[in-house]
Chains A and B, each alone.
Chain A
Amino acid sequence: MEINFQHVSFKYDNKQNYDTLNDINLTISSKDEFITIVGHTGSGKSTLVQLMNALIFPSSGNLTLFGQKIKPKRNKPLKKIRQKVGLVFQFPEYQLFEETVLKDIMFGPQNFGMSIDEAKESALNIIKELNISEEILERPPFNLSGGQKRKVAIAGILASNPEILILDEPTVGLDPRGRKELLTLLKKIHEETHKTIIIITHDMNVVANYSKRTIVLNQGNIVFDGTPKDLFNNKDCLKEFNLDLPYISKVAESLKEKGMINYQSIPLNIIELYNYINGDNHE
């Protein structure tokens, strides 16, 4: 397994007397996983993914990334790991600094060893996929709109072609169309290349519709790690950690309350719901 947490704890400041992350055990492969991480504000989601990118080091426990052990203090060069694990930050618009949008997208790939031409090609590909309009490519990135900046920042990570892609609340600030496009692109990347994709989100529809595995964090602890289906069928868990249901499931729930349909396992998408309504689903 490429990402391996064993009893990992983390605190931001050694004087702090509680752990931001507590006894984390987690393994993630670099192939064929599509994971969503959920949990309320301040539960440690962003901290967890920064550990996966070796931007911060565990305070205790064993963290291994692509075979390299990450020690609490001094570490061997980490550039390789950061190349393999691409992380899009929660507020990625902070990182833009180049003269033009295009150059900024090419910055990451070049750092990770691509030549200028390769970087440009890779960048242009992503730009097309993300539907970033050509006319902003030569503009300085600073006076783009918030959503445009975010797209540019995401493109910068996608262009360096990491093996694992982590996005920290990537859809915040995008319009519905941009949101859909981004998620569809991620799904496409996942299906075509089998890369592992990890998304932090507060949107249960994303959890239900895109991910195969979901991790719930609560006060620095992993309290659930399983399929979205299991999560949304676990009423106690949802209630205890203040998680919502996806829209479709809500609809299904009220239909069930009215006695119009019946099901064992709550439907997560429109097709499942349709099947229940038509009575085609025999579980």
Chain B
Amino acid sequence: MNKMAFGQFYNSNSLIHKIDSRIKIIFTILFMISIFLVPTNNFILMGSLFVFTFFIVLLTKVPLNKYLKSLKQIVFLLVFAFSFQMFFRNEGTVIFSYNLNFTWINITISIILLILYILFNKYLPLKLLILVLLAILIIYILGIPMNANVINNNPVVIRIYKEGIISGSFIILRVLTLIIFTTILTLTTKPTDLNNGIESLLSPLELLHIKTSIFAMMISIALRFIPTLFLEADKILKAQASRGVDFNEGSLREKIKQIISLLVPMFIVSFKRADELAVAMEARGYVPGEKRTKINLMKLKFSDILWLILFIIVLVGLIILRVLI
């Protein structure tokens, strides 16, 4: 259950860790805007932003595999975006073209491969890689001319254009930079600091009579209680299992009953927790919306301002470039 890494904060005493959380939030937003201001297919600019990001990653003194872990979750997205660009661009210079013949033999072999994949998919390591290889293999097999009945007389031609590959790569670079940069924020800022930062940044809204402190409190309570609720769910799951609920088998009707037997107590427990917490908070003098003092006052340091200026320069530079080009 502890694997639920909300706020995957990694403690190390780096330069980046010390930056005020408000500044970090602001410059992350500035940098995201910068990334989207880079003209499409301008690899030099995008590449420099990537290298810049990488420098900051080195400064954080967080092991690189922490970053790889967060990238792992978006590999599928990247592959998908790239394939999409590669196959569905249809203008420009063709660098590769391939005829698909739909004959009985080709199709049968492909289907068998697919079924094999679906059957054994559970036991395979590196699922995504194998899936991509499989797709390439199937396309290859479909291309082999067979002397058999052709189902479709006008063969489908796959054409891959240079432009497709270029824009595919550009998208990958852009998304990578984006994800790595936001990961820097979550890896180097404690969830509570992040929350305080957001609260402080939103505080001007109080002038419009929107109680931002209440929202900040809600977010931090939610973060705090998610792991607790998972533990709770585990307990209820066990209690029901000991009463003969078997979550692996049963007809649809039984399945529904099983899920209800889990959900109802979950709701009850959560509401009860919420009630108790509310009472406990009030007993300790919490009044919603009232001004609260903080243990750690956030104070901007000179270096924080320098960081902010650095990112403003990046953004302004890009805006000027955009206007000039």
Binding site for B on A (CB under 8 A): 13, 50, 53, 55-56, 77-79, 82-83, 86-87, 89, 91-92, 94-97, 107-108, 111-112, 142, 156-157, 160
Contact = CB atoms under 8 A, between A and B. Distances in A.
Given A97-B261, A97-B265, A108 B238 contact: no
A111 B245 contact: yes
B2 A107 contact: no
B268 interface: yes
A95 B243 contact: yes
Contacts of B153: none
A54 B249 CA distance: 17
A95 B239 CA distance: 6
> Would you call the interface of chain B mostly helix, strand, loop, or mixed?
helix
Contacts of B206: none
8 contacts: A50-B238, A82-B244, A94-B265, A95-B243, A95-B265, A107-B261, A142-B268, A160-B244
B244 A108 contact: yes
A202 to B, nearest CB: 20
Contact of A156 (B2, B243, B260, B268): B243
A56 B234 CA distance: 11
B242 A55 contact: yes
Interface of B: 2, 232, 235-236, 238-246, 248-249, 260-261, 264-265, 268-269
A275 B222 CA distance: 62
B236 A95 contact: yes
Given A79-B244, A91-B235, A142-B268, 18 more contacts: A53-B242, A79-B246, A82-B243, A86-B242, A89-B235, A89-B239, A94-B265, A95-B236, A95-B243, A97-B260, A107-B243, A107-B261, A111-B243, A111-B244, A111-B246, A157-B242, A160-B243, A160-B244
A157 B243 contact: yes
Task: Rank and list the top 9 A-B pairs by shortest CB-CB distance, nearest first.
Answer: A111-B244, A97-B264, A95-B239, A108-B243, A87-B242, A55-B238, A112-B244, A89-B239, A97-B261
B261 A83 contact: no
A97 B239 CA distance: 12
B258 to A, nearest CB: 9
B215 to A, nearest CB: 30
Nearest to A89: B239
B244 A95 contact: no
B261 A94 contact: no
Nearest to B239: A95
Contacts of A111: 243-246
A82 B241 contact: yes
A78 B249 CA distance: 12
A96 B269 CA distance: 11
A157 B244 CA distance: 10
